[in-house]
Each structure stands twice: as structure tokens, then as C-alpha cells.
A and B are shown apart, each in its own frame.
Chain A
Amino acid sequence: MDETLRRQTLEYTGKVQPQRGERGANGQLLSPYLPNGELVEAVNLSIYLERPLLLKGEPGCGKTQLAKAVAYELGLPLEAWYVKSSSRAKDGLYTYDAVGRLRDAQLAASGRLSDEQIAKIDDPETYVRWGALGRAFQKPQRTVVLIDEIDKGDIDFPNDLLLELDERRFIVEETGVEVPAKFPPIVLITSNDEKDLPDAFLRRCLFHYVEFPDRDRLIEIIHSRFPQTSEDLTQQAVSRFLKLRKEMRKDKGETGKKASTSELIDWFQVLRRHPEEEALAHLGGKLPYPGVLLKSWTDHIRYLQDRSE
């Protein structure tokens, strides 16, 4: 019964949004996030079943932002782990500063350390630096863990995380200390599909494909980000943006890089600096501020020329 109770207490609705100008724990400005119903459901399933949720979807469709939104609404801490090509699975748990320890040992040997410092050196834990998962495991409450762009890592990277995600414990080899998770973390993983993920890893995850928002949702997103903007400008800008996307899809197919939600937000931010009439006039003509939306030379040539003809 306790088990079910514990599981049921957390529910993400996607409706609680930060106030304008509200800042997160690290001082970053928080922005509203409007997920669709399916995504909300997937998140709740992942929380309930205590399994990682793997998110795929076009770049810039808000995969990474979701973790922040979930942490904000549920009032939980967020631990983000941005995977790089050189990342190893262990880095997410802990790193051991062996070099630092060696240095200190030498200093101690030459008698240049105080007793206090020596006592610190004697404690093997001094040199353990916790990674995102390692910290999350030790938090006294459930923690949202974001493993961002897992496909950037080595192909074996996800497989090396299986045990930790499965059994929710790991051992610090250097000290022999076992770290069990006090509370099961809520793990959100994003992938841009640059590499296939191993089946063994996929099997342990829930999967959700984050769809590109439809027109109404885009307008909603713009409204929530820029509440003081006129309806007309929003409508026009979103229409122009969707038209560009449609052209891009025609040319590049489903898989090509298309203008994304995050780019729309940037683009709109630039547009609204102008007085409304001026901005509307801009939208009527050649694509304004193309540098925000078009990211390759061929795109520039193709979509800017099409417009002027």
C-alpha cells in the first residue's frame, strides 16, 4: 500500500507555469512550457513506473525544456547531465580526482600540509566528485534527472548505465562505498537520433516522440512567452513561419533540418522589437531576419530567393 501511495503522489499536469520573470534555483530565467496531453501522460507513466523516459523529436521542439518544466511544477530539484562525445557513463555517477590525491600525497610527504589538511586527505571521499545521477541518488526526495543528448556519447555509453538505472545503486570503486538511491529519480533522456541506441537500453525506457506543435499550440506558446503582443502580429508571424516550414518539408522531407519552435521564439523576439505596423510590414515582404531561421547557405539561397520572385 505504501508503494502505491508513494507512486501516486506525484502527477505532472503541464498546467502550472512559472510567473513572468521568475528565476530558477541557478538564477536562470524560467519560461512557460506547454506540453500536449500525450507528452504529459508519458511523463506521468514514467514517474509512476519509475522508468526512464526517452524523448526523441526534431531538434528545437522542447525536449530538453521538458525536464525543467517537470521539475518546476513538481517542485523537485533538477540535475542535468549534458552528454558530450567524450563522456563516459561513470561521469554521471562520480569522478575520482586521482591526480589531486596524488598531488596532495606528495605535498604531505614533503611535510607541507597542516594536520587538518592531512586529516582531510585521509578521508577517501574527499576526492569523489558526484555527477548528476550520483547527486540525484543522494537527495532526500525524488529528483528530476535530465540526460541530454545521450546519442552524443559513445555507442556503449547507454549500456554502461543499465545497472545504475535498473537497480538504482552504484559503487564508488575507489572507496568501495555503495550508493543506493534514496528515492527513485525521475529520469528524462533526450536523443537526436544521431546514433541508434542499443536495444538493451531501449528496453528499459519508455519512449515518446515529441511532435512538432500545431498552429494553435504555437500561438499559445508565443502568447505565453510574450503576453503583451498583439493577436494580429502573433497570427501573422506564426503563419509566415509555418509557411516556411511547409516549404522546407517539401524540399527536404521529414528528416531534414527545419525551422524549430525554439527558432520561432527567437525570431519572434526580434520581430516584436519593432512597432507593430512595421513588424507586420516586414512579414508581408521578404522573410525578415532570415539568420534566425535559416541556418545553411543553401537554405538562404533557396527560401530567400523564392520569396523575392
Chain B
Amino acid sequence: VNDLPLLELFTRLRESGLPLGIRDYEAVLQALQAGYGLPDRPALARLCRTLWVRSIDERQLFDYYFEQLIGSEMVSEIDNLVVTAIQKQQQRAIRVAISAALSVLLVGVGIALWTNNPSPTPKIIPTPKITPPPTPRTSKENSQLLAIMFFLLFCLSGIWLFRILMQRRKNSLDPSEISPVESSSKMNFELLPTMGDEVLTAQVVQQMTTIGYRRTRDAGSDDYQPANQRQMKQSWRHLCQKVREGMATELDLERTVRQIACQRIFLEPFLVPKRVNLTELILLIDRDGSMVAFHALADWLIDTALLGGKLGKVEAYYFHNCPVGYLYRDPVHSESEPLTEILTKLRRDRAVVLIFSDAGSARGGFNQDRVELTTIFLQQLQLQVRYVAWLNPLPKSRWAGTTAEKIGRVVPMFDITREGLDLAIDVLRGKQNSGCDRTELILRKRP
């Protein structure tokens, strides 16, 4: 039977989004068996970190859970736990041998007593008949022998009982003797006071990731899950518009062959430039106010787009509530840049714009001014870029009756779930299945 050390930690890390698989878990076991990570707690932490953590962010998360879940006494337990299979078998064999020897001894004594024991009553009675002088000495000897036998039996069974009890006690301390189910439930109980329940976990996630998490959960839609960084990364990869540009480095096989056919001899290969992604992504991020809770999500969007690597160019600008006149280069709104200047810099054939804002749905209510200002801005924008899409950090159910609903009719608006993000990126790629009323925008464009 294999016991599973560190399973709790592994599961927690998986739950909080580390991309870990069975192989990673096996690797730790394998390394533990080879003696890595064993002497003490820091060594164990180092081992797990090397095998399970692949970025600085993940490391913070790991350190938190390790601190929470792995006490120093756990380490010695794990130490015990990971005695190699051979050692374990040896121990087991010795234990079996001892118990076997003991039981044989006991049975032997038992039988001896059984054969001797009934003697007191029947023997004592017939002895006087057979042996003429029943000396008191022999009967005394007999009862002495009996007493010794009893004493021995008592001692042996006592020792045996004691051993069993000891083993029981050891079992409750030594996890190597407990089934995995038992040990994990035990772990849970021990850690319950320190680890708390999901709320605490949520707090950690919140602390590590976003404050917006809980808020959106409170919003009454429990199944609403904002996209996480991995999902964002994956989604960005779909956003591309590839064109051959730059140095000619790739062989164009077809043209080379055709050239050989024409010239009847091969003179030189025909090269073409590599295909590169030309999409220029402009992220417009609503900051502060009702968006405070979603700053982390916004930062993720920007980071994942920047490091995604596929996009031709990524730029982020900030605004508050509604972009009017100026956009800001930094989240604290100190470096401003006139909107017109930004718009003229954009390349109409390449630039796509993704707006991240709650469009007034966080506070609720309807604001006609905001709708109009936003619409004017969007019209300006539409003329300068290929496609525009809007991401709302709040779930669709919260838009009804708010400014967001109205704006959502002017521009394709999606909530920032995995599906929403993918749909928004589809729009930016030119797939117009957004469900928003395009005619309204066109009508508004020409009043």
C-alpha cells in the first residue's frame, strides 16, 4: 500500500491554478525516495519548489500554502513515510516474525497448560490411588509448577497485549501505517483551524490575484468565473493577422521548383519573408472608481497580452469612466495624451481596440450622458481602427437596465469569462457574430 505524502499541498496548489499533473506528483515521490528534500523542512520546500513552481508568482502562492500546510512535524512524518520500499518490507518482515514467534510461544504455553491444567482436578484425585503415599511435597511441587506456568502465561500474554497496544499507539502516530484516506482526513482535521475554509482560500486567491473576485461572486452569480491568466494567454494567441514581412529567410519551395523548371538548372533558391503577426492591440482600461476591484484583472489583461509574444504591438491606455478628450499612458493618470493624437497614430489596417470597463454596471443605474459620450467616442474610434470590442468585468446578468446595456448595443460587449474573452477576440479578428446591433451604430454614425 502506498501512502501519499504532500497530497494535500499538491491538491491545494492545483486548485489555485498551478498547472500540475500526476507526473509532477510522481516526480516528487521519486525524488523523496532517492533522498532529496528529506533532512528538514527547508529542504523539502526547496524540492517541491523546484519541481512544482515555474514562475515567481507561483512561488509566492507555493510559499503561502507550504507555510500553511506543512508543519515541521509533518516533515519528520514524511521522512518516516518515505523509507524506501526495501526498508519498509524489512521492517514489516521483522514485525511479522516477532508476532509469529510470540504467537507460537503463546500457543505452545497454552497447549502445555492445557495438558497440564486439567491435571489439577483429575490428577490430584487419582494420584493418591495409584501412588500409595501421596506425599504432600509432590502436590506442593505440582501447585508450584502450576503457579509458575500461570505466572509465565500471564507475563507472556501481558507482553503480547502490551505490544499490540504499543503498535496501536504507534499506528496513530506513524502515518506509514495508516491508509491514505485516514491520513488525509486526519490532515484535514489538524489543519482546519489553521487553514480555515474556502473563504480563506478565496482570500488568498484574492490577495494573490484580484480583489474583484469576491465582489463579483457576491453579485449573486456563483458560476461567474473571470478568466484567469492562463486562459487570457491562450485566448490572445488566437488574435493574429499574419503577413509575410521583413527579411527573406524562408524557402519558397514552389517558386524555387518553378524557377528550376523554367531555367532548366538550379541557380539559387527563392526566399520569402517569414509570416509575422501584424495585429496592433490597443487596450483601453477604465481605472479607479467602480473599477478598483478589477485592477488586477486589467493588469492581467495587459501583462498576458504583452508577454504573449504573438502580437505585433501592444499598447495600453487608461481612462476614467468614459474616454473624453484625453487618454492616459499610466494607471495613475499623470501622463495624458490627446485622444486625437492617439487616434491618428493608429494604423487603420492593423489596429484593434479592446476596451475594459464596467460601463456603469457596477453601480447600476442609467446615465444618458455617459451613453452619449461613449457612443461619440466609439464612433471616432471605429473610423480609425479595424475592430473594437468591449470587455465588462461584471456578468451579463448585471447589465440589464444600466448604462452598460445601452452601450452594449453600440459595441460588441462581453463579460470577462473565458467564453466572453474568446468572443471578444473573435470580434477583433473580424468575426462579426457579436449579437450587438450593428445597424444602431451605423445609424448613429450618420445622424
> Which A residues contact B (CB, under 8 angstroms)?
4, 7-8, 38, 41-42, 44-45, 48-49, 51, 54, 56, 86, 98-99, 102-103, 106, 154-155, 195-196, 199, 202-203, 205-209
> Which B residues contact A (CB, under 8 angstroms)?
19-21, 23-24, 27, 30-31, 34, 36, 43, 46-47, 50-51, 53-56, 59, 230, 233, 237, 249, 251, 260, 265-266, 269, 274, 304, 307-310
Output the nearest chain B residue to A102 by Cβ-Cβ distance. Answer: B266
CB distance from A293 to the nearest CB of B (A): 25
Known: A7-B34, A196-B233. Contact between A155 and B54, CB under 8 A? no
For A7, the chain B residues whose CB sits under 8 A away are: 34
Query: CA of A229 to CA of B59 in the docked complex: distance in angstroms?
Result: 39
For B269, the chain A residues whose CB sits under 8 A away are: 99
Cβ of B30 and Cβ of A41 under 8 Å apart? no
Which residue of A4, A206, A208 has the most chain B CB atoms within 10 A of its CB atom?
Answer: A206
Output the nearest chain A residue to B33 by Cβ-Cβ distance. Answer: A4
Contact of B266 among A49, A103, A155 (CB under 8 A): A103
Cβ of B309 and Cβ of A86 under 8 Å apart? no
Known: A155-B309, A155-B310. Contact between A49 and B46, CB under 8 A? no
29 A–B contacts, CB within 8 A, in A order: A4-B34, A8-B34, A41-B46, A42-B50, A45-B31, A45-B36, A48-B31, A48-B34, A49-B27, A56-B55, A103-B266, A154-B309, A155-B308, A155-B309, A196-B233, A196-B307, A196-B308, A199-B230, A202-B19, A203-B21, A203-B24, A205-B54, A206-B51, A207-B50, A207-B53, A207-B55, A208-B50, A209-B56, A209-B59
Contact of B54 among A86, A98, A195, A202 (CB under 8 A): A202
Q: How many interface contacts (CB-CB < 8 Å) are there between A and B?
A: 69
For A86, the chain B residues whose CB sits under 8 A away are: 249, 274
Query: CA of A41 to CA of B35 in the docked complex: distance in angstroms?
Result: 11
For A199, the chain B residues whose CB sits under 8 A away are: 19, 230
Beyond A199-B230, A208-B50, 4 extra complex contacts between A and B, CB < 8 Å: A45-B36, A54-B54, A103-B266, A155-B310
Output the nearest chain A residue to B268 by Cβ-Cβ distance. Answer: A99
Output the nearest chain A residue to B266 by Cβ-Cβ distance. Answer: A102
CB distance from B28 to the nearest CB of A (A): 10
CB distance from A45 to the nearest CB of B (A): 6
Query: CA of A203 to CA of B54 in the docked complex: distance in angstroms?
Result: 8
Query: CA of A205 to CA of B269 in the docked complex: distance in angstroms?
Result: 39
Which residue of B54, B304, B310 has the most chain A CB atoms within 10 A of its CB atom?
Answer: B54
Query: CA of A65 to CA of B230 in the docked complex: distance in angstroms?
Result: 32
For A4, the chain B residues whose CB sits under 8 A away are: 34
Query: CA of A51 to CA of B50 in the docked complex: distance in angstroms?
Result: 11
Output the nearest chain A residue to B253 by Cβ-Cβ distance. Answer: A98
CB distance from A75 to the nearest CB of B (A): 22
For B307, the chain A residues whose CB sits under 8 A away are: 195-196
Output the nearest chain B residue to A99 by Cβ-Cβ distance. Answer: B269
Query: CA of A3 to CA of B51 in the docked complex: distance in angstroms?
Result: 21
